[in-house]
Each structure stands twice: as structure tokens, then as C-alpha cells.
């Protein structure tokens, strides 16, 4: 997570600069209200929502200026929601983003007006002239955003949250609250980036059957298998048990952070059908020479046995009875199976003896009455 946040910082700085220029042009007054707006919208926050919209807009080759305007509007909506969320009438939080909440820094009335102003500014930005977006697309954006933050979205989730203080929510109700209050704006961030990039409706709209949280992962995988979804973004959870014969291209980000066995499992998700599979490993600029060498070996060897043997040599076995998952233990060695077969007659001459203390320990752990020493 820290690596991802570090990755966001340059974008956050760029968006803050762009947004500050926008607000200076939009706000003609110079008083406490402007100070309050700047206080909650500039220089704080991770900008994840804006980042998602810009990345997807870039994927669809949207104009960068249009993408930054969209990201600015999204972040202003998010800032407005946080100001109102912190108010005494709602969550009554005194701090937000490691500093006093807006109503604590200024006043409750100023915070309410500041939140209202941020919301109207967001829609003003979305309705301004864009470089490469026609008015129909702008209307579509405004309609989508209104729906995602209104009574059927963020505000609807907020009222469920308020009522939950008196009535305990069920798991399903909590899920609905989180989807409305938080997930909807994330959903808009992704969809809006595709819209300004002139994506078609199939690429923009999430089918209703995939929005349900009940078995949503299974539904998404099935839709991917059926060809209803062309690109699947996932965690490493797909490394086992997923068989999609039509999947022929896999991109693994931060591949240097994965073990070779896990990379081998992930690679096995593609090329399972008639089409040739491709696996692309992306690593960070700070990847160590050792990790680069590991990835190069992985690139050149497709045998699971070869990969496992190399992993054992370079990473070590760890401890069988402890919690170390790498490194070589001090009190025993692990032999290569080929070496064992070459020297089997020599090994047979050994008699493995256990101390009485070790025997007692093993008997207790394995819950058995006796251990007989074994002659190979």
C-alpha cells in the first residue's frame, strides 16, 4: 500500500496545482469562505478517485486537460462530502486528514456553505467548455455524477449511516451503505474516465448483475469467461482455481514483490486454450539486481520443477517448525533430489538418532505414545 501511495504523490501534486488555478479563476471573492474551500480541497488527500479517472481517461486517449478537469470535479465532490460528514449533526469529527475539521478551523456555518460551494463548483467545472468532449458527453457526465452522489448514491448511504447509530445494521445493510456512500463515487471515477475518452457503452456500463455483492467475484469471473468482459483487474487471488481458456494475456505489476512459485501459478492462468498466452512482468525502477536476476530466470524457464529448485537455492527453505519463510536453517541441510539419488547407497548406511528430549517433544506434538528409530 505504501508503494502505491508513493506512486500517487506526483499525480496529487500535479492535480493540486491544476485545481488551485481553477479555483482562483472561479472564486472572485477573497474572504473566509474561499479560505475554507482552499483549506479542505488543496494540499491534502491521496487523490485516489482523481487518479483512477485520469488513468482510465489516458487509457482511452482522452485529452489531458479534460481529464484533469474531470479529476478536479471529482475531488471537489469528495471534499464537500467530507466537510459535511464531519459536522456535529452527522459524525461530529474534530479532525480530518491530520488537521482540524473544517467546522473546527472556521465555523459550523462556514463549513456548511463551503461544502455547498464545492458541490456547485464541481458541476460548474464539468459544464465548462472541454477540449475534446461534446455537450452530449458532458450532459452524460453530469447525469452520472448526480445519480452517484444523490439520494440513490452517496447521500442515500449517508442517511443509512446516520440511522445505524440507533439501529444495528445487518451485514447486507452495511454492504449497501458502503456501496452507496463510498463505492459509487469510485465507480463514477472509473466510468467517467472512459466516457471522456469516447469509450462505447459496453466499455462504460457495469451490468446490473455484476453490481450485487452476493457472489460478485464469481459473477465477474463468469462474465470474463463468457467474453462479456474483455479486461479483468484482480489481486493475486486468481493464481489458483481460475480456468479461463480465452485469457491469453497477463500483466503482473510489481512482479519483483512476488515469489517465484506465485509468479508461476499466475503465469498458468493464460494460454490454457487454443490461443498462445503471453505474460508480462512489470517491476519498479528500484528493483534490486537480485530480483532482476530472479525475474530473468523466470522468463527463461517454464518448468515448475526448475522454478521451484531455483527458488529453493536462492531464497532458502526457512524453518519447518518455526515462522521463518526464507533463509537456510543452522541445524540441518536440504539436499537436491538428484544428489540424493546419486548417493542413495551412502545415505542408507546412516542411522538417524533422536535425543530423548527431542523424542519427548515430538511425541507431545504428534500426540503419539512412542517413536521408533528408523534404519533406512
Residue whose C-alpha is closest to residue 76's, from 99, 103, 45: 45
Mean pLDDT of the chain: 83
The reply to whether 2-205 and 233-315 are identical in fold is no
Beta strands in 171-266 (DSSP E): 249-252
96 to each of 30, 40, 89, 105, how far by Cα in Å?
24, 9, 16, 11
- Domain locations along the chain: 2-205, 233-315, 338-366
CATH fold for the domain made of 233-315: Rossmann fold (3.40.50)
* Stretch 277-302: mean pLDDT: 89
User: Which of residues 349 and 37 earns the better pLDDT score?
Assistant: 37
**C-alpha 242: how far from its chain's center?**
20
159-163-165-168 Cα dihedral, nearest 10 degrees: -120
**What is the Cα–Cα distance from 78 to 1, expressed in whole angstroms?**
21
Widest CA span in the chain: 92
Q: Give 221-273 pLDDT, tens digit per residue.
A: 788 888 888 888 888 888 876 778 888 899 998 888 888 888 998 998 888 88
| Contacts (Cβ under 8 Å, ≥6 apart) of 292 | 256, 283
Of all residues in the chain, the percent with pLDDT exceeding 70 is 82
Consecutive H or E run containing 281: strand 278-281
| Contacts (Cβ under 8 Å, ≥6 apart) of 232 | 220, 221, 224, 238, 247
Question: How confident is the model at residue 274, as a pLDDT?
Answer: 82
Question: How confident is the model at residue 376, as a pLDDT?
Answer: 38
**What is the Cα–Cα distance from 23 to 41, expressed in whole angstroms?**
10
CATH fold for the domain made of 2-205: Farnesyl Diphosphate Synthase (1.10.600)
pLDDT band (50, 70, 90) for residue 374: very low
**What is the Cα–Cα distance from 129 to 118, expressed in whole angstroms?**
19
Whether the Cβ atoms of residue 300 and residue 271 lie closer than 8 Å to each other = no
Beta strands in 59-166 (DSSP E): 95-96, 99-100
Q: Give 344-369 pLDDT, tens digit per residue.
A: 665 555 555 666 777 777 777 776 76
Full-prediction pTM beyond 0.85? no
**C-alpha 160: how far from its chain's center?**
26
Q: 375 pairs with which residues across the strands?
A: 351
Whether the Cβ atoms of residue 87 and residue 108 lie closer than 8 Å to each other = yes
Label each residue of 283-347 as H, E or C.
CCCCCCHHHHHHHHHHHHCCCHHHHHHHHHHHHCCCCCCCCCCCCCCCCCCCCCHHHHHHCHHHH
Beta strands 278-281; 249-252: pairing state: parallel
**What is the Cα–Cα distance from 79 to 191, expressed in whole angstroms?**
20
User: Which of residues 376 and 109 earns the better pLDDT score?
Assistant: 109
pLDDT band (50, 70, 90) for residue 296: very high
Query: Within a 10 A sphere around the Cβ of 220, how many other Cβ atoms?
Result: 19
Question: How confident is the model at residue 375, as a pLDDT?
Answer: 41
**What is the Cα–Cα distance from 119 to 155, expressed in whole angstroms?**
13
Q: Measure the N-to-C terminal CA separation of the chain; round to a whole number of Å.
A: 50
Whether the Cβ atoms of residue 188 and residue 57 lie closer than 8 Å to each other = no
Amino acid at each position: 500500500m505504501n508503494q502505491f501511495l508513493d506512486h500517487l504523490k506526483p499525480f496529487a501534486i500535479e492535480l493540486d496545482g491544476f485545481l488551485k488555478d481553477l479555483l482562483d479563476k472561479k472564486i472572485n471573492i477573497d474572504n473566509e469562505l474561499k479560505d475554507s474551500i482552499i483549506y479542505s480541497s488543496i494540499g491534502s488527500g491521496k487523490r485516489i478517485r482523481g487518479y483512477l479517472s485520469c488513468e482510465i481517461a489516458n487509457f482511452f486517449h482522452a485529452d489531458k486537460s479534460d481529464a484533469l478537469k474531470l479529476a478536479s470535479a471529482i475531488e471537489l465532490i469528495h471534499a464537500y462530502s467530507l466537510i459535511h460528514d464531519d459536522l456535529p449533526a452527522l459524525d461530529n469529527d474534530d479532525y480530518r486528514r491530520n488537521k482540524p475539521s473544517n467546522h473546527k478551523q472556521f465555523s459550523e456555518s462556514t463549513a456548511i456553505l463551503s461544502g455547498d460551494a464545492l458541490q456547485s463548483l464541481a458541476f460548474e467545472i464539468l459544464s465548462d467548455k472541454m477540449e475534446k468532449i461534446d455537450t452530449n458527453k458532458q450532459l452524460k457526465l453530469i447525469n452520472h455524477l448526480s445519480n452517484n452522489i444523490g439520494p440513490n448514491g452517496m447521500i442515500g448511504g449517508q442517511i443509512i449511516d446516520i440511522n445505524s447509530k440507533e439501529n444495528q445494521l445487518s451485514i447486507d445493510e452495511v454492504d449497501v451503505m458502503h456501496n452507496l456512500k463510498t463505492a459509487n463515487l469510485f465507480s463514477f471515477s472509473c466510468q467517467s474516465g472512459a466516457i471522456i475518452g469516447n469509450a462505447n457503452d459496453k466499455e462504460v456500463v457495469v451490468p446490473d448483475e455484476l453490481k450485487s455483492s452476493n457472489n460478485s467475484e464469481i459473477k465477474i469471473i463468469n462474465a470474463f469467461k463468457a467474453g462479456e468482459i474483455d479486461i479483468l483487474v484482480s489481486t493475486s487471488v486468481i493464481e489458483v482455481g481460475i480456468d479461463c481458456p480465452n485469457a491469453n494475456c497477463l500483466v503482473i505489476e510489481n512482479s519483483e514483490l512476488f515469489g517465484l512459485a506465485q509468479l508461476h501459478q499466475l503465469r498458468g492462468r493464460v494460454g490454457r486454450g487454443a490461443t498462445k498466452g503471453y505474460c508480462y512482468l512489470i517491476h519498479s525502477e528500484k528493483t534490486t539486481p537480485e530480483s532482476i536476476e530472479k525475474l530473468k530466470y523466470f522468463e527463461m524457464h517454464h518448468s515448475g520443477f526448475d522454478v521451484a529448485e531455483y527458488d529453493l537455492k536462492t531464497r532458502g527453505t526457512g524453518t519447518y517448525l518455526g515462522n521463518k519463510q526464507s533463509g537456510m536453517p543452522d541445524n540441518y541441510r536440504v539436499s537436491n533430489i538428484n544428489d540424493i539419488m546419486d548417493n542413495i547407497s551412502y545415505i542408507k548406511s546412516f542411522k538417524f538418532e533422536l535425543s530423548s528430549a527431542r523424542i519427548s517433544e515430538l511425541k507431545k506434538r504428534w500426540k503419539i505414545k512412542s517413536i521408533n528409530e528408523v534404519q533406512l
